[in-house]
C-alpha cells in the first residue's frame, strides 16, 4: 500500500512539474491587438495559439505598455521579458551584421528575403553577436507590402521630384540614402513623426502602406509612390537566458510556435497588400507610380551609398545568396 501511495505521489508530482515547467510567456510589442491591421499581432496570435496547445499561457502587452523600443530591448536582454517584437534599429544594437539585411532594394520581397536569410545562415551570424547581449533572434514578422515614399507636398513620379524634399529619416543610414536621392533628410523619432508632418519639419517618410494604416497616419499624408524597395521585417526577439533555460521539449514548443507565428504572418502579409492600398486611397492618399526608368535611378542612388552604411563584405556575402 505504501509503495502504491508513493508511486501515485511521484506521478502526481511529475505531472504537476510538467504542467508548470514553463511559466507564463510575456510578450511585448509597439502595436495594437488588431488582427486586421497589425502584422506583429498576427504573428503573436499564431505564436500564442501554438503554445496554448501545450497549456502554456501567454501574456501580451501591446502599445508600448512595457516601454519603448530601447526599454523593451533592455528587458529582454536582462531576462525580464521573454518575447519582444522589435524594429530593425533595435536589432542593429545587438548585431552589426544585421544592418545589411535591412538595406533598401537588397531583396525584392518577402519570399526572397526569407530565402536569403535561410540559405545564408544569417540568423546564426546574428545570434553569435546578439547572444553577448542576452538576446536571441528567432525570426522576422513582415509588415506586409513593400517600401515606398509617402509625402504631403506633391506627387512624386521621378527622382527629380524628391529634390530638396524634407523627409523624415529613421537614423543616420536613411539620412545618407535620402541625401543620395537629392532630398533634405532630418532624423525624427517615429513617435514624433505625426507632429513633424503637421508642422512641416518633415513632409514625408519611407514606409509601406501597412505601416501608415497601422500608425493612423492616413489623414496626414497625400501621396504614395511605390518604390518596391523591399519588405519591412519586424524582429522576433527572445530572451537568450530564458530560451537557454528551457528543456529540450519546451524549446521545441517555442520553436514550433515561432514557425506557426511566421506562417500566419506571411499568409496575412500576402493577402493584405491590396487591402492596405485601398485603405490609403479611401483615406484620400493618391498613389502615384514612377515614370518608366525612374525606379532604377532610385536603385542606383541607394546602392551607391550601401557601402557607407554596412561593410562591403557583408553586402557581398548576402547578395551571393540572392536569386
Which tens digits make up the pLDDT trace of 75-106? 999 999 999 999 998 999 999 999 999 999 99
Q: Which residue has the higher pLDDT, 169 or 15?
A: 169
- SS3 call for 225: strand
Whose grid coordinates read 521579458?
Answer: 81
Question: Are 118 and 204 in the same domain?
Answer: no
Determine phi and psi for 53, rounding to 5 degrees.
-70, -15
Question: Are 172 and 30 in the same domain?
Answer: no
Q: Quote the pLDDT of residue 150.
A: 98
Cβ-in-10-Å burial (0-12, 13-18, 19+) of 93 comes to middle
Establish if 2 belongs to a structural domain. no
C-alpha cell at 70: 530601447
Q: Quote the pLDDT of residue 18.
A: 36
Q: Is the pLDDT of residue 19 over 60?
A: no
Q: Is the pLDDT of residue 153 over 90?
A: yes
Establish if 10 belongs to a structural domain. no
Question: Are 67 and 175 in the same domain?
Answer: no
- The pLDDT confidence band at residue 127, using thresholds 50, 70 and 90, is very high
Question: Are 242 and 172 in the same domain?
Answer: no
pTM: 0.89
Q: Quote the pLDDT of residue 5.
A: 34
Which tens digits make up the pLDDT trace of 32-43? 999 999 999 999
Q: Is the pLDDT of residue 171 over 70?
A: yes
Question: Are 255 and 198 in the same domain?
Answer: no
47 closest CA partner among 270, 253, 245? 253
Establish if 18 belongs to a structural domain. no
Q: Quote the pLDDT of residue 14.
A: 35
- SS3 call for 189: coil
Alpha-carbon distance of 308 to 311, in angstroms, equals 7
Q: Quote the pLDDT of residue 8.
A: 36
- The pLDDT confidence band at residue 13, using thresholds 50, 70 and 90, is very low
Mean of pLDDT values over 192-213: 97
Q: Is the pLDDT of residue 3 over 80?
A: no
- The pLDDT confidence band at residue 197, using thresholds 50, 70 and 90, is very high
Question: Are 28 and 118 in the same domain?
Answer: yes
C-alpha cell at 323: 536569386
Percent of the chain surpassing pLDDT 70: 93
Rounded to the nearest angstrom, the gap between the alpha carbon of residue 177 and the centroid of all alpha carbons in its chain is 20
Containing structural domain, residue 289: 148-230+277-316
Torsion region of 121: left, alpha or beta (phi above 0 gives left; psi -120 to 50 gives alpha): left
Q: Is the pLDDT of residue 15 over 80?
A: no
Question: Are 241 and 96 in the same domain?
Answer: yes
Question: Are 269 and 285 in the same domain?
Answer: no
Q: Quote the pLDDT of residue 180.
A: 98
Question: Are 270 and 282 in the same domain?
Answer: no
Torsion 143-149-150-155 (CA) sign: negative
Establish if 321 belongs to a structural domain. no
Establish if 16 belongs to a structural domain. no
Provide the number of structural domains found in the chain: 2
Establish if 12 belongs to a structural domain. no
Q: Quote the pLDDT of residue 137.
A: 98
Q: Is the pLDDT of residue 302 over 60?
A: yes
The CATH number for 74's domain is 3.40.190.170
Question: Are 195 and 266 in the same domain?
Answer: no
Residue 110, number of CB atoms within 10 A of its CB: 22
Question: Are 246 and 311 in the same domain?
Answer: no
- The pLDDT confidence band at residue 22, using thresholds 50, 70 and 90, is confident
Residue 285: which residues within 8 A CB-CB, separation 6 or more? 150, 212, 218, 221, 222, 223, 224
144 closest CA partner among 298, 271, 320, 306? 271
The angle formed by the CA atoms of residues 205, 206 and 212, to the nearest 5 degrees, is 75
* β partners of residue 311: none
Question: Are 34 and 66 in the same domain?
Answer: yes
Q: What is the residue-averaged pLDDT of the chain?
A: 92
- SS3 call for 152: coil
- SS3 call for 190: helix
Amino acid at each position: 500500500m505504501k509503495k502504491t501511495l508513493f508511486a501515485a505521489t511521484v506521478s502526481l508530482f511529475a505531472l504537476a512539474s510538467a504542467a508548470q515547467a514553463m511559466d507564463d510567456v510575456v510578450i511585448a510589442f509597439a502595436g495594437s491587438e488588431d488582427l486586421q491591421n497589425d502584422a506583429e499581432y498576427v504573428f503573436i496570435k499564431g505564436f500564442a495559439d501554438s503554445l496554448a496547445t501545450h497549456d502554456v499561457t501567454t501574456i501580451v502587452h501591446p502599445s508600448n505598455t512595457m516601454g519603448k523600443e530601447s526599454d523593451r530591448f533592455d528587458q529582454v536582454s536582462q531576462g525580464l521579458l521573454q518575447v519582444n517584437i522589435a524594429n530593425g534599429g533595435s536589432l542593429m544594437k545587438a548585431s552589426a551584421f544585421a544592418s545589411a539585411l535591412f538595406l533598401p532594394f537588397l531583396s525584392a520581397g518577402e519570399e526572397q528575403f526569407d530565402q536569403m536569410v535561410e540559405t545564408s545562415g544569417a540568423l546564426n551570424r546574428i545570434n553569435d553577436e546578439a547572444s553577448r547581449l542576452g538576446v536571441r533572434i528567432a525570426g522576422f514578422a513582415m509588415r506586409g507590402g513593400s517600401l515606398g515614399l509617402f509625402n504631403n507636398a506633391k506627387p512624386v513620379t521621378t527622382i527629380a521630384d524628391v529634390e530638396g524634399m524634407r523627409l523624415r529619416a529613421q537614423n543616420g543610414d536613411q539620412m545618407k540614402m535620402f541625401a543620395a536621392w537629392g532630398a533634405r533628410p532630418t532624423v525624427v523619432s517615429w513617435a514624433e513623426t505625426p507632429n513633424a508632418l503637421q508642422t512641416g519639419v518633415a513632409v514625408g517618410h519611407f514606409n509601406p502602406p501597412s505601416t501608415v494604416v497601422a500608425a493612423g497616419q492616413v489623414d496626414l499624408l497625400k501621396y504614395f509612390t511605390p518604390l518596391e524597395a523591399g519588405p519591412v521585417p519586424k524582429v522576433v526577439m527572445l530572451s537568450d537566458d530564458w530560451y537557454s533555460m528551457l528543456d529540450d521539449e519546451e524549446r521545441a514548443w517555442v520553436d514550433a510556435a515561432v514557425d506557426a507565428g511566421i506562417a500566419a504572418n506571411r499568409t496575412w502579409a500576402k493577402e493584405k497588400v491590396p487591402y492596405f492600398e485601398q485603405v490609403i486611397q479611401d483615406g484620400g492618399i493618391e498613389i502615384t507610380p514612377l515614370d518608366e526608368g525612374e525606379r532604377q535611378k532610385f536603385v542606383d542612388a541607394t546602392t551607391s551609398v550601401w557601402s557607407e552604411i554596412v561593410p562591403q563584405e557583408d553586402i557581398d556575402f548576402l547578395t551571393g545568396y540572392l536569386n
